[in-house]
Each structure stands twice: as structure tokens, then as C-alpha cells.
Amino acid sequence: MTEPTPSVTGGATAPVPLVPFVDRHAGCGGVFTATIIVKTESMVGLTATVERRVMRCSKCELERRSPDQVEGDYLATMAAIREKHGLLTHQEIRRIRESLGVTPDEFDALIGLPTGISKGWETQRHLQNAMADARVRALQDVEYAKGVAVGARVTLRLTEEERAAFRPPSFLKKKGAAAVSGEAQAEAPADATADAPAPSEAAREPGIARLDAGDMPPAHTQSSGT
Ligand SMILES: [Zn+2]
């Protein structure tokens, strides 16, 4: 008859003393404390001032951020620079691309950049610089975009109805002057039958037959009224 006897040695276990967690800097013996710092950050040659929460050592002033913080700060910096310099947001870029009915790779071709670039913008991995931003805006002008598409050998998937229904989003009117005037589109002659392309031409290149130079009203290039 063996009965396991619980060992009762020493009675109650000594409680672990509850010490407040101190985040010490092993190198110098200082203590890391949460601090708000103000920094000027730059991306693609543009700068913005951002507030940032870091853990800073009380002695040596070393700043420490977790990987999550680094990621969050990167996005916050990107947003601040976009805001300050009036760059398109990643959603706006995506909307413009989708309005033309092209894939990200095709969009790169329209902008004249290597494959993968605009995908990086849309996923917030990268920020477009001012020139690229202007090129993206310019593609809001469907007549202009059609011409670019021919040169880039990209087919815009636009129906006539989509084109007719398309209006530049309001943000494009307040930001970026040159961009695309909604007026220009409205003024564009819907029935510019002056020089219709010969039927034979249209048959040869059905997708782009309407896109030759004669079809492009010069109006929108010079009507930067405001
Ligand atoms: Zn330290």
C-alpha cells in the first residue's frame, strides 16, 4: 500500500515580490521611458515634421522603437509628407488606375516607370515623388491617357459609357493645378467629326483606331483657366 504523500515542505510558498517593471538600458544603466519627440523626416526629396513616440534612455538618450512602431512611423511619415506636399494618397492612385481599367503593371507603363513601382505606391511601400505624382494626375484626362496608352502599348479598358460618366474626383480640383481640369473634359467636343479616321484604319487597329492625333482636341492642353 503506497500512498503518494504530498510533500509539504516549508509551508506556503514565498510570494514573488511585485517589482514595477523598469526597462533598463543594459549598456549604460539608464532607464527607457516613453517620450514624444519631434522630427523632420524626408522621403523622395520632400520633408515633413512628425511627432513620434519613442522609448528614450534617461542617461545616453538612445532612442528605441519596436518593429511595429517603426512600421507605423513609416506610414505616418508618408502620410505627413503626402499631406504637406499635396501628393495623391494610395487610395487615390488606385482609383485613378482602376478608372482607366488597367493593371498595376500596365499603369507603370503608362507612367513610364519600371514594372512594380505603382504597386508599391498602392500598398504604401513607397511614396511617389512629385514628378510621378504629376504624371498620375495627368492620366485623369482620359483623352490624354488614350494618347499615352498608344505610345505605351497599353489598352485602356474603357467603354464609351464609362468615359462619359467619368468625372475627376473633387480632390483633383483643389490639389495640383495643372492636373486635369474637369472643364476641359466637359468642353471636349463629343462629336468632333472633323476628321474621322478612315474605315480601313479602324479595321486595322480596332482597339486604338479612335486615338490618332486628329482625334485629340487641343483644348484641354491650354485651358488652364484658374
Ligand atoms: Zn543608455
| 178 and 95 both lie in a single domain | yes
Cα 39 to ligand 1 centre (Å): 20
| 53 and 95 both lie in a single domain | no
70-113 per-position pLDDT tens digit: 999 999 999 999 999 999 999 999 999 999 999 999 999 999 99
Cα 38 to ligand 1 centre (Å): 20
H helix and E strand count, the chain: 11, 3
> Per the structure, how many domains does the chain have?
2
Backbone angles phi, psi at 52, to 5 degrees: -145, 135
- Angle at alpha carbon of residue 154, lines to 153 and 158, rounded to 5°: 140
User: Is residue 58 a part of any domain in this protein?
Assistant: yes
| 119 and 213 both lie in a single domain | yes
Position 191 scores a pLDDT of 43
Cα 122 to ligand 1 centre (Å): 39
The string of DSSP codes covering 85-138 is: HTPPPHHHHHHHHHHHT--HHHHHHHHT--TTHHHHHHTTSS---HHHHHHHHH
Predicted TM-score (pTM) of the model is 0.61
| 75 and 133 both lie in a single domain | no
Residue-range definition of the domain harbouring residue 95: 90-182+207-218
Residues with a beta carbon under 5 angstroms from ion ligand 1: 25, 28, 30, 57, 59-60, 62
Cα 36 to ligand 1 centre (Å): 17
| 47 and 140 both lie in a single domain | no
**CA–CA distance from 205 to each of 97, 147, 153, 158, 202 (Å)?**
24, 14, 12, 16, 5
* Residues 56, 62 contacting (CB under 8 angstroms): yes
102-116, 148-162, 192-206: which range is least confident on average? Answer: 192-206
21-75 per-position pLDDT tens digit: 889 999 899 999 999 999 999 999 999 999 999 999 999 999 999 999 999 999 9
